[in-house]
Structure 1
Amino acid sequence: MVLSLQGCMAVGKTSAARWLEAHDPTLQVSYEDNAAVLAEVRRRGLDKTRWPDYIEIQQLWLQNEVRRWQAVQGHPCTVMDFGAEEIEFYTLHYPRSIGRDWAVEEPLARELAAVRRCMPRRILFLDAPDEVLRRRKAGDASRDRGFFDHYLTALLPLKRAWFAAKDNVDFLDTASLTPDETGAAVLEWVVRQRRAQQLP
């Protein structure tokens, strides 16, 4: 069974995933690994604000996510720090967030169909008010979040609406939770999902 943690940057997804690893060794945790795709985008000199380049870039991302999903299939329960649902959302909505009206479904039909077969059983959307996310981002110098402001103002409103409309998404408000409390709440959610599927 594949589960996924979702939400904005600085909401606590990666910290929660690390907490899961430390507190439940039976879980497989899969982190985003963007290095190869980013290196290939740089090697090709692609620019995501240009239509043909965006299609080429998203082909790379979608194919990468399918490989990532395939790599965890031998595990009874895997929690993804962003799963296939993230790249589907981003592929479809990023153009709108930069004021472009690009029809991406047709040129990416094959890749989108493949990634849609890799969707998690359930998604936990970690959320917090925008001001809390900004404060957390400002307090974490360990990560490069140059895309944060665009993500928060242009993509996150679309993302919240997109995931709220799905029937396999649960929400966790992390605004008043410490990292340990968030991790414990996420683990409790994972345990409920495993029980529902009768997994150990």
Structure 2
Amino acid sequence: MEGPSAVGKTTLVAALARTAGAAVLPELDARGAPPPAESAAWFVDAHAAQWRRARALAERAPLAVLDGDPFKGLWYGPTFADAGWPGLDVVVPLHAAAVASGALGFPDLYVALDATEARLRARRAGDATRTRRGFERHLRLVDPLRRWFAALAAVAPERVLRVDTTDADPDALADAVLARVAELPPEPPDAPRLLARLLARLLAQLRA
């Protein structure tokens, strides 16, 4: 599950847990991360650990929902390069090595949530339970996320469900997600090699 701040991830995740018994792995806690310029390997290792936890949850529940993209470094860092975050020249080899070793993989299905900026701002203003202190900064991620998921959908459309939450009902969204989950094929035995090829195709699509 991925999308910009205030897009409705938490609400949809809660609906999936309520209606389908989904096991939910919360977003990565990055409070122990090193400074941005030195953080690339830390985040790849941390996301690999999240990936292992998600796969373990999937063995015990109807489905596991991972809050956040395990490949976040490929679009977050380049977006904030002006703040010292590492670029693709640093993060791509780390992610490629993790995929090749089987330590990291692509989710069976990405649920990519999107909404208009006006709706995002309205949701932020209407939610007194969360401060969203980095909201303005994270609005910069909206376009990079759209490009990321457009590229992924171009090379692996079966892995992406793109959803506009601007005026959507959370329970209806949950039903749409579960319908796509029911259509997923079984994971092939040579998944690491297939996923390595998928990563290479995705990066080529992004660069193009």
Identity across matched positions, percent: 24
Residue of structure 2 in register with 1:194 after alignment: 182
Confirm whether residue 62 of structure 1 aligns to residue 47 of structure 2: yes
For the 8 Å contact 1:66–1:115, the answer to whether it is kept is: no
Change (3 A) 1:193 1:146: same
**Aligned pairs (5 A) from 1:80-119:** 80-83=65-68, 86-88=69-71, 90-99=72-81, 102=87, 103-104=89-90, 105-113=92-100, 117-119=104-106
For 2:7, the aligned partner's letter is: V
Q: Give 5+ residue unaligned stretches, structure 1.
A: none
Task: Report deviation, 1:107.
Answer: 4.5
Residue of structure 2 in register with 1:32 after alignment: 26
Change (3 A) 1:77 1:197: farther
The TM-score normalised by the length of structure 1 is: 0.73
Distance in structure 2 (CA, Å) of the matches to 1:63 and 1:161: 23
For 2:113, the aligned partner's letter is: L
Confirm whether residue 172 of structure 1 aligns to residue 154 of structure 2: no
Residue of structure 1 in register with 2:192 after alignment: none
Distance in structure 2 (CA, Å) of the matches to 1:188 and 1:32: 21
Structure 1 runs (4+) deviating above 6 angstroms are: none
Using CA pairs under 8 Å that are at least 6 residues apart, name the structure with larger relative contact order, 1 or 2: 1
Task: Report deviation, 1:117.
Answer: 4.5
Task: Report deviation, 1:113.
Answer: 4.1
For the 8 Å contact 1:11–1:126, the answer to whether it is kept is: yes
Residue of structure 2 in register with 1:77 after alignment: 62
Q: Give 5+ residue unaligned stretches, structure 2.
A: 187-208
For the 8 Å contact 2:22–2:64, the answer to whether it is kept is: yes
For 2:146, the aligned partner's letter is: R
Match of 1:47 among 31, 35, 45: 35
Residue of structure 2 in register with 1:11 after alignment: 7
For 1:7, the aligned partner's letter is: G
Range with greater deviation from structure 2 (5-14 or 181-190)? 181-190
Q: Which has the higher helix share?
A: 2
The count of aligned residue pairs is: 176
Across the aligned residues of Structure 1 and Structure 2, the Cα RMSD in angstroms comes to 2.7
The TM-score normalised by the length of structure 2 is: 0.71
